[in-house]
Each structure stands twice: as structure tokens, then as C-alpha cells.
Amino acid sequence: MKNTHISISFGLLTVLMAISIALVVDFKQAFSEENVIAINTLGTEDQPIISLDGNKLCFLYSPMDFEWFQELSPEEKMKILKKEKGIKIIGPYRKGHTENDISNKNIWFRGYCSEKVNGKWTNPTLAPHELIPRDKGIYAKFMTVDNGTRLIVEASGISIDGREIKGEGDLVTFYKQADGTWKGPFILSDYFNTPHMEQDFHVTEDGKTLIFRSDRPGTLGFGDIFISNFENGEWSEPINIGKPINTEDAFEAPGWLSPDKQRIYFVRAYPQPINLKKTGIYFSEKVNGIWAEPIKLDLGIATHKIFAPSLTRDEKELYFELLPQGRKDYQIYVSHKQLDGSWSVAVPVY
């Protein structure tokens, strides 16, 4: 019996060592140059931002099972946000996820950018603000403005100079220094640091007009698009962009505002009850200074979980986030505008 026990113990030890070695190999393999993970994976790709020239794609990524997270109670979600509880992982690790993050399963979204070279997307690298150490908090959607010298980032759970970020997804900014490093975060404006939601923002090319989704007072429906302008060195008080963009029975979220601020693409969703026929990406343009009745784009897909449209300058490439039917992870899709003005059937980006 003693020899049998020793044999079983040795066998178990061998198995455990093999598992440990496999984990190390997997970890190293995940970070090897040969293991190029471009855009979509089994994890969650979120909030795509395509550059105006179409050659740079930035997005958020987490190996977390996002559908699993959505089904948790508010209390359980808060434990994860505070890193008191691990997450369910279904996707691969990208460069930038630390070994400590992986072992503790404390991997939330991180910002990445990929460049298009010879028609193909390169292995994404961490966005500049992700390289600045922080003890707590979460960064979400981000955009570069002012010719690449400033970043605007959606943040939660961080403090700036002892001041707590108040709401669900407030806006902060980072500045590029002369030596190429980045400094921040700084509060963008008290108008975007409230107990209410400031999410899904978009800033125009000149950095002077900002649209975002909020549930603040003055909202018509479940969440509306608000707009603010940078005037005389500060941001104006946001106002509801109004009808016919916002409605009472749906929530609307940016979106993309054209550089000349005359055309807008946004998401309209009907959560209660879910209406697949009406939910989707909409387009409107100004006629004599007034927004025309929005038109839903036909992208050849049917889902009530579609977000974050982003376009190239010529408005011929449309990138967005979608939860495909039968999957647990969001992916980034693209559709191309045809000569007749219609849009091609959207396909995943790889």
C-alpha cells in the first residue's frame, strides 16, 4: 500500500508539473512574435475607432466572456470592477496583459491599436495611456485628437489628484510630451465628470465638438446623445441633440460625427421590448441646419446588440461592434459603401 501511495503521489506530481510547464509554455507562446493575433479573437473586441484615412484601427480588448459578465448581479459586477473577483476567460491573451493579471484573472479591457500594412492589419500594440501605471480603475473607449498630441479616454473608478471620478464612464484627457511620453490623466471638464453616464463618446477631427451618450436630466428615452463644443478655451455645457435623433422609446448612442459636423451615424436600440427590425445603425444629415429624419442602414445582419459605428473620412468604410448570433464575444465588423449608395453585407475584421 505504501508503494502504491508513493506511485500515485509521484504520478500526481508529474501531472501537476506537466500542467505547470504547459501553462508557462502557453503564456510564452501567447507573447511570441510568431503568435500574431490581429483583430477578432475568441475574446471580446469592443469600441472600434477607425482613423479617417482607414490605416489605423484602435479598439478595446478583453479575454473575458462578456455575456457572462452581463448576466451577473450589480453586486457581482462591482466586485469584478474592484478586482475582488476574477473573470471568466474565453479568449487569448494579447501583449500587454501581465502574467500577474493572467494568474489572478483580473483582466478587464485594455486599449490597443493596429496599423494596416500592405492591406493587412498588424499585431495590435497597447495604446499610449495604457502604458502609464495605475493602481485601480478602468479605461474604456479612447480617441486621439489635436494631430495625435492629445488623448480623450472614458474612465471609471480612478482618482485624479485625490478627486474621485464620479460616474459610470467619465471623460479624462492625456497630453503628449515633447519627449514622446504621455502625461495624465486630467479631468476633461466637470461637465463630463458627473454622477451620470458619459459613454460612447466621439470627438470631431478638430477636437472642438464632442458627442456622447448620457442618462442625465433632460434625457428623452433610455439614454440620449448629448453634444458639447470647445469654445473660448473650455467645453460648453452639453445639451441634448434633440429630435429626430433622440427618441422617447429607445436609447441612442454615438456614433460618428463627420469632420464638417453635418452628418451623424449612431446606434438606436429598443431594449423594452427588443425590436430587431428597428434596432441598428442610423444615419442623418443636416438640411438647412436641421437634422433630417434618420435612416436605418441595411448591413445584411440582424441583431439587437450592435454598437460603436466609426467611419473613414470618405464615409465608404463603416466599422462597428457586433455580438454575432450564437457567440458569446463581441467582434468588430466592417461594411463598405457601394457605388449605388447601399452598404455591403458586413463581415468580421481579421
Taking only the tens place, the pLDDT of each residue in 48-107 is 999 999 999 999 998 888 778 878 998 888 777 666 777 788 888 887 665 555 555 456
Q: Please tell me the predicted confidence (pLDDT) of residue 156.
A: 81
At 160, is the pLDDT very low, low, confident or very high (cuts 50, 70, 90)?
Answer: confident
At 133, is the pLDDT very low, low, confident or very high (cuts 50, 70, 90)?
Answer: confident
At 275, is the pLDDT very low, low, confident or very high (cuts 50, 70, 90)?
Answer: low
Q: How far apart are CA 15 and CA 7, in angstroms?
A: 12
SS (H, E, C) 31-95: CCCCCCCCCCCCCEEEEEEECCCCCEEEEEEECECHHHHHCCCHHHHHHHHCCCCCCCECCCCCC
Cell of 205: 477631427
Q: How far apart are CA 91 and CA 63, in angstroms?
A: 4
Q: Please tell me the predicted confidence (pLDDT) of residue 246.
A: 96
Residues 6+ apart with CB under 8 A from 226: 211, 212, 213, 214, 216, 238, 239, 240, 241
Taking only the tens place, the pLDDT of each residue in 174-227 is 999 999 999 999 989 989 988 888 889 999 988 999 999 999 998 998 889 999
Cell of 347: 463581415
Q: Environment class of residue 103 by beta-carbon count within 10 Å: exposed (0-12), middle (13-18) or buried (19+)?
A: exposed
Q: Is the peptide bond before 185 cis (omega within 30 degrees of 0)?
A: yes
Higher pLDDT, 137 or 284: 284
- Considering the four listed CATH numbers 1.10.3470, 2.120.10, 1.10.10, 2.40.50, the one that applies to the domain covering 35-348 is 2.120.10
Task: Provide the 3-class DSSP secondary structure of residue 236.
Answer: coil
Q: Is the peptide bond before 244 cis (omega within 30 degrees of 0)?
A: yes
Higher pLDDT, 72 or 33: 72
> Do 126 and 111 form a contact (C-beta atoms < 8 A)?
yes
pTM for the model = 0.84
Rounded average pLDDT over 319-346: 91
Higher pLDDT, 172 or 95: 172
Q: Please tell me the predicted confidence (pLDDT) of residue 316.
A: 97
Cell of 123: 499585431
Domain ranges of the chain: 1-30, 35-348
Higher pLDDT, 102 or 340: 340
Q: Please tell me the predicted confidence (pLDDT) of residue 182.
A: 92
> Do 143 and 59 form a contact (C-beta atoms < 8 A)?
no
Higher pLDDT, 96 or 336: 336
Q: Please tell me the predicted confidence (pLDDT) of residue 83.
A: 67
Nearest to 49 by CA among 225, 230, 256, 251: 256
